Amino acid sequence: MPRETDDRPGGALPRVVLADDHQLFAEGLASLLADDYDVVAIVGDGTSLLEAVEAHAPDLVFADVSMPGLNGVECARKLAESAPRVRVVLLTMHEDAHLAAAALRAGAAGYVLKHGGASDVLDAAERALDGGVLVSAGLVDEVDSLLAAPRGMDRELTPRQLEIVGLLAQGLLAKEIAERLGLSRRTVEFHKYEAMERLGITSNAELFGYAMKHGISSSATR
């Protein structure tokens, strides 16, 4: 049954913007949502997402965590400031509670694993539009603990730093991370050394050990 929003004319569907640099996935998601939502734009990077939100004034955004330019967490943070009415759900292959907690702190209304299935996506959309938050079941307990715990060193890192540290812990080189995230190698190195400085770490080995100890990891596949 098509879903109506309280502040829209009768029969109007919630407006949705999709952001994912994998076109086939984005098109599949658009097809999944087509019956109950009005997909007004599909974009492939973070900057285009912010522009699409400004142009189309959606009710809901689905965004990948890892996109060229601005990542999904950074977009959620910016939209929380510039368009607080818009609800943002992040879809990702990153089964990482630290990134999920960072996303919720940034203002996201959901953190959903792409392999969780269509029902998780639809549940997240409905929950977000009702003012709630949904995190994939396997991450809920750890995310709740991270959000409730006193602020630790790892929570001083920015979402981008968390992402890069996690990818380094997977064994990726700075050049490979730069290609994956659509950044320059210099920018990746900057974030890496900023993270090391914040954490009081002076070597790559220490950084790797820190990432392992705190469970900061990013999936190498999407």
CATH number at residue 207: 1.10.10.10
122/185 Cα distance (integer angstroms): 37
Token pair of 9 as six digits: 């004319």
Number of domains present in the structure of the chain: 2
- Considering the domain architecture, whether residues 36 and 130 belong to the same structural domain is answered as yes
Tens digit of each residue's pLDDT (9 = 90 or more) over 90-143? 998 878 787 788 889 889 999 999 988 899 999 999 999 999 999 999 899 988
Quick check: 128 and 103 in contact, CB under 8 A? no
- Considering the domain architecture, whether residues 141 and 158 belong to the same structural domain is answered as no
What local confidence, expressed as pLDDT, does residue 148 receive? 81
Token pair of 102 as six digits: 């960072």
pTM for this model (two decimals)? 0.71
Quick check: 173 and 212 in contact, CB under 8 A? no
Quick check: 86 and 146 in contact, CB under 8 A? no
Given 106, 126, 148, the domain boundary residue is: 148
- Considering the domain architecture, whether residues 51 and 134 belong to the same structural domain is answered as yes
Tens digit of each residue's pLDDT (9 = 90 or more) over 142-151? 889 878 865 5
- Considering the domain architecture, whether residues 37 and 97 belong to the same structural domain is answered as yes
Rg for the chain, CA atoms, rounded: 17
Give the domain range for residue 161: 153-213
Given 148, 172, 203, the domain boundary residue is: 148
Asked whether residue 220 is assigned to any structural domain, the reply reads no
> Of 72-81, 197-206, 213-222, which has the strongest mean pLDDT?
72-81
- Considering the domain architecture, whether residues 159 and 119 belong to the same structural domain is answered as no
Q: Using alpha carbons only, give the angle 51, 120, 74 rounded to the nearest 5 degrees.
A: 30
Q: State percent of the chain over pLDDT 90.
A: 47
Quick check: 93 and 114 in contact, CB under 8 A? yes
